[in-house]
A = this chain, B = another copy of it.
Amino acid sequence: MSPIELLNTHHLRKTQFREKVLDIFLRHDRALSHRDIESQISEADRITLYRTLRTFEEKGLIHKAIDGSDKLKYALCAGHCDVHAHHDHHAHFHCASCGQTFCIDEVQPPGIQTPPGFVVESTHLIFNGRCALCAN
């Protein structure tokens, strides 16, 4: 998938800025924070990036990667997410040492055990520890 293909598929205007942002996501196999991305675009406008990320999330190009850290991160959606539904039913791993966050597509959150009266709409499973590099 190229940046332009992703924008086409999700019916978004093709702009230089959006292509740059998607290019950065495609070159990393981990979740990225606002800051991660901003520091890789020369002359990036903070505000535009906030709006770009929000749009990408709404349209199903990226999903929030909840990792228990104070920073909000996003990762590329693997499959067929769109404006109507996200399907990111996988765990996330957060390294307490280097701060990196990875999607663990193989591990799914457990079957929903609903507490009485509560309606569960989505589930997040987060592993916190040390990544392969930091564990040694």
Q: Which residues of A contact B (CB under 8 A)?
A: 64, 66, 68, 70, 72, 93, 96, 104, 106-107, 109-110, 112-113, 115-132, 135
Each complex incorporates copies of this chain amounting to 2
Closest approach, in angstroms, between the C-beta of A27 and any C-beta of chain B?
A: 21
In the complex, besides A66-B68, A116-B132, 13 extra interface pairs with C-beta distance below 8 angstroms are A93-B120, A104-B115, A106-B115, A107-B113, A110-B125, A112-B127, A117-B131, A119-B130, A121-B129, A121-B130, A124-B125, A124-B126, A124-B128
Whether B106 lies near A121 (C-beta < 8 A) is no
21 contacts between A and B (CB under 8 A): A66-B66, A66-B126, A68-B124, A106-B115, A110-B125, A115-B127, A116-B132, A117-B131, A117-B135, A118-B127, A118-B135, A119-B130, A119-B135, A120-B127, A121-B129, A122-B127, A123-B126, A123-B128, A124-B124, A124-B126, A124-B128
Closest residue of chain B to A136 (Cβ to Cβ) is B117
When the two chains form the complex, which single residue of B96, B118, B127 contacts A132, counting CB atoms closer than 8 Å?
Answer: B118
CB neighbours of A116 from chain B (8 A): 132
* In the bound complex, CA of A47 to CA of B127 (Å): 31
Closest approach, in angstroms, between the C-beta of A65 and any C-beta of chain B?
A: 10
